[in-house]
Amino acid sequence: MTFDMLVIPEPDLRATVDMVRFLEAHSFNCAWIADSPPLDWPDVYMTLALCSAETSRIKLAPGVTNPITRHASVTANALVTLHRLSAGRAELGVGLGYSAVRAAGLKPARLQELTIYLESLRSIFRQRNVSIPIYVAASGLRTLLTAGQVGDGAMVTVGTHPVLVRRALQYIERGATEAGRDPGSIEVVFLAALALSDDPKEARHEARSVAARRALDAEYHSDFFLPPELESLRADALRVAQHYDVQRHVDPEAPHNSLVTDALVDAFTLAGSPDQCVSKIQAMQKAGARRVALFPAGRDRRGATELFVRAVLPRFQQ
């Protein structure tokens, strides 16, 4: 099992750079920097450039960008620049667009647009003689299939329940097989919200903001997120989705978080004590996950990360 981290850039970018240096020092594989200008998060590419200058090993990637607010020529040029600046450590995550798009009053891309976008990016990469892996952000049946069909990798956002992990891998494999590709060639990263505390109740509270976002996915993609094993979550997920405010996306203080139940937190996040977190990751691993991108939730993201490094990470490095 290897670990990445999704990092929301701080207003003081020195704190973000320091976090990425910390991740590199503790052998994390990749730092994915969130890209959502409407939420007043610092610019993803300026952040990546600063992180590149202060690190030497860790991979660096937008996590994730989209075809609507970032033209292919702009994205490709930024990634080629990052590739050269970082001595080949650049990777790229691309999705249909959520907070960066909806919060700006725009509609997400269609899958056909996403596929054309990836073709344009790869054409420019070839012209510039660089090789940069592209991960397709996927959370529903059609995007999971598309990730298998056209992605070098998949950034899977389906929560942490083993049933969902297995289903995601099955659809990615199916997409790859239908496209005549080797399913084993698709690098799959599972995005998992992290909230750690010796008090499980406190950890669940910290994880509610990200569990709320997955509940919204459950409304959009109920055919995937609510198989018979998780049908009991339907009413809870719908209640949260109906009140989700995209302007308060993954905001620990957003009012819609109060509607998130413990059952949703348990199905969609790595929330609990360090021992509980280890057990949940082991269950994901048994279901087929080999690479997890942690997304520290709540108000103390750095504290959760440091506790993970002290109390959880060593269990997977033995």
93 within domain boundaries: yes
- HSE-CB for 68 with a 13 A CA cutoff: 21
Amino acid at position 276, single letter? Q
Identify the CATH number of the domain in which residue 292 sits.
3.20.20.30
Measuring CA to CA, which residue among 93, 41, 87 is closest to residue 66? 93
The crossing angle, in degrees rounded to 10, of helices 72-85 and 44-53 is 10
Residue 271 CA to residue 310 CA, distance in Å, equals 16
Residue 108 CA to residue 190 CA, distance in Å, equals 22
User: Which phi and psi (to 5°) does residue 121 adopt?
Assistant: -60, -45
Query: In which domain, by residue range, is 132 found?
Result: 2-201+273-316
31 within domain boundaries: yes
**Contact indicator for 164, 158 with CB cutoff of 8 Å:** yes
Token pair 């200008």 is found at: 37
23 within domain boundaries: yes
Q: What is the pTM of this model?
A: 0.92
Residue 24 CA to residue 58 CA, distance in Å, equals 5
Query: What is the structure's pLDDT at 56?
Result: 98
pLDDT in tens, 217-237: 777 788 888 889 999 988 988
170 within domain boundaries: yes
User: 307: which 2 tokens?
Assistant: 């506790």
pLDDT tens-digit profile, the chain (318 residues) = 999 999 999 999 999 999 999 999 999 999 999 998 878 899 999 999 999 999 999 999 999 999 999 999 999 999 999 999 999 999 999 999 877 788 788 998 999 999 999 999 999 999 999 999 999 999 989 999 999 999 999 999 999 999 999 999 999 999 999 999 999 999 999 999 999 988 888 888 888 888 888 887 777 788 888 889 999 988 988 898 888 887 887 777 888 888 889 999 999 999 999 999 999 999 999 999 999 999 998 778 899 999 999 999 999 986
Query: What is the structure's pLDDT at 52?
Result: 98
103 within domain boundaries: yes
Residue 245 CA to residue 103 CA, distance in Å, equals 9
Residue 239 CA to residue 264 CA, distance in Å, equals 11
CA 198 to chain centre: 25
User: Which phi and psi (to 5°) does residue 230 adopt?
Assistant: -120, 15
**Contact indicator for 236, 215 with CB cutoff of 8 Å:** yes
Query: What is the structure's pLDDT at 121?
Result: 98
pLDDT in tens, 134-168: 999 999 899 999 999 999 999 999 999 999 999 99
Query: What is the structure's pLDDT at 144?
Result: 97
Domain count for the chain, please give it: 1
191 within domain boundaries: yes
